[in-house]
Structure 1
Amino acid sequence: MEHARLVPVNFRISQKAQIMLGELTETASKSSSRAMVPALFWDEEYDDIKKETVVRGVAWGWYYRDEVPARLLQDVDGITLIFAVSAKQSAHFQGKEIDYHDGRRFFLAD
């Protein structure tokens, strides 16, 4: 993470998604006995067999907060997070809102 570049956030987070992220981050922190911070990713990969890119979309992970350079932390609608995408991938998020569908998944909405 030392060489990671900051990609400015360009999206917002719905209230439902904020609540769920808060709960998940609290659970991760309690289970590891260390403060955690959520990291937002864009999940896609090239399928060599099908010869196409498979897009899964929004994905979350967590890092130990004390191991993340402060310059990578950003605040979005009251949630401190790492926007762990490339400049090219950030285009998927431009002007969108990350929402949460009860009990199922995070997704991008207009």
Structure 2
Amino acid sequence: MNELEATAAKPSYVKRKGLDSIMDALLVAMTASKGSLTAPPLAAAATVIAGDAAVPAMTVYADIMSASEWADGSQQVVAAAIEHLGAAPPPASPNLQRTMGGSRQPRPPARRGR
């Protein structure tokens, strides 16, 4: 029996236990995410693997980022995942306009080498 056949032959509760640990880790990571590099892929994975169970964790993330002065737009991706799962997305961030370039000051020119 090869490895694939051995895995398929295991009772479903054994396979489910492994999926539960992945789901739990995804939901913890989603609530602990700090922004645009991790939140969108975590939201996609949580949506596919955890389904409706991911909504509370994604809502926590979206609420925290919406209230943050560091809102980077990633909460909009997470809100779309929440809406995809049939739940009401959190309101848009009041900080989003500022972070998307609404009142951001231009950067000074880069320094040239000596």
TM-score when normalising by structure 1:
0.28
Larger radius of gyration: 2
Q: Given the two structures, how large is their TM-score scaled by the length of structure 2?
A: 0.27
Structure with greater contact order relative to length (CA < 8 Å, sep ≥ 6): 1
Question: Which structure has more helix as a fraction of its residues?
Answer: 2
